[in-house]
Copies of this chain bind each other. A is one copy, B any other.
Amino acid sequence: MPLHLISKLESFTRLSVLDRQALDAVVTEKQRRLGAREDIICEGDNPSHVNLILDGWACRYKQLEDGRRQIISFFLPGDFCDSHVYVLRAMDHSIGTLTPVTFAEISRDSLSQVTSRQPRIMQALWWDTLVQASIQREWTVNLGQRSATERVGHLLCELFLRLRIVGLADGDGCLLPVTQADLADAMGLSTVHINRTLQELRGAGLIVLKGRHLTIPDLPALQTASLFNPNYLHLDHVGRHLDAGTAGEL
């Protein structure tokens, strides 16, 4: 049961075997797979269920009438694309894949059944939802205040830590399966300048980026250079669990 979601939720609270089984059942119910650069759901659609990314990277994005595109958030394995969307009448943005993606379609009923029967899961999903909102706020700060270098550095710190809690980091590195154009759309910069910025980070020895693999040889250094403060990811519980030696290697 290699469920990234579980590994993430367990960084917040401990789940019982029953909890895990319940989650597993919900996720197994209906799965879909898409190739890279396809839409999972489009602006204007009427959302009927919740999507959970199981494998691959996706993103939320909006396209302005004149073609400009903003990537609003990245979805990594274990991320929900909007629990509770169905309260709203129509999607105000689209969700698309960046790489080939496997995801679970969870019906409104299944989800509310699990959460009402397993209060731990309810609590954990709440935590996850709040963290996602917090990440969105941090992006506002990132786009509003940070220079290009700080901004990109900050994003790389965030993605690395997020991948780490779902068990997708390898030591001091991780996969970064997106193009520089994608990064540009996310950071509100041009591709040319993203390229310049990455060179600069490489030149300063803060990152090693070859092909689709990112290494951060000195995370604290990159964090400092990017004015990155991890508190917004609310990982405060993680340490304790790892120390207890229970979660961590799921």
Q: Which residues of B contact A84 (CB under 8 A)?
A: 126, 130
Given contacts A89-B234, A227-B65, contact A60 B137 (CB under 8 A): yes
Q: Are the C-beta atoms of A88 and B234 separated by less than 8 Å?
A: yes
Q: Answer whether residue A248 sits at the interface, using C-beta atoms and an 8 A cutoff.
A: no
Q: Are the C-beta atoms of B66 and A127 separated by less than 8 Å?
A: no
Given contacts A89-B236, A133-B136, contact A145 B231 (CB under 8 A): no
Q: Which residues of B contact A231 (CB under 8 A)?
A: 43, 90, 92
Given contacts A89-B236, A231-B92, A236-B89, contact A136 B136 (CB under 8 A): yes
Q: Which 10 A-B pairs have the closest CB atoms?
A: A144-B188, A143-B143, A92-B232, A70-B141, A70-B144, A68-B145, A70-B145, A72-B137, A136-B136, A72-B140
Cβ contacts A to B, 20 pairs, < 8 Å: A43-B231, A62-B137, A62-B141, A64-B145, A64-B227, A72-B140, A73-B137, A84-B130, A87-B126, A87-B127, A88-B127, A88-B234, A90-B231, A92-B137, A92-B231, A133-B133, A133-B136, A136-B140, A139-B140, A143-B144
With most chain B CB atoms within 10 A of its CB, the pick from A64, A140, A145, A234 is A140
Q: Answer whether residue A113 sits at the interface, using C-beta atoms and an 8 A cutoff.
A: no
Q: Answer whether residue A241 sits at the interface, using C-beta atoms and an 8 A cutoff.
A: no
Name A180-229 residues within 8 Å CB distance of B.
186-188, 227
Name A49-75 residues within 8 Å CB distance of B.
60, 62, 64-66, 68-70, 72-73
Question: Bound complex: CA of A123 vs CA of B89, how far in Å?
Answer: 13
Given contacts A68-B145, A136-B137, contact A92 B234 (CB under 8 A): yes
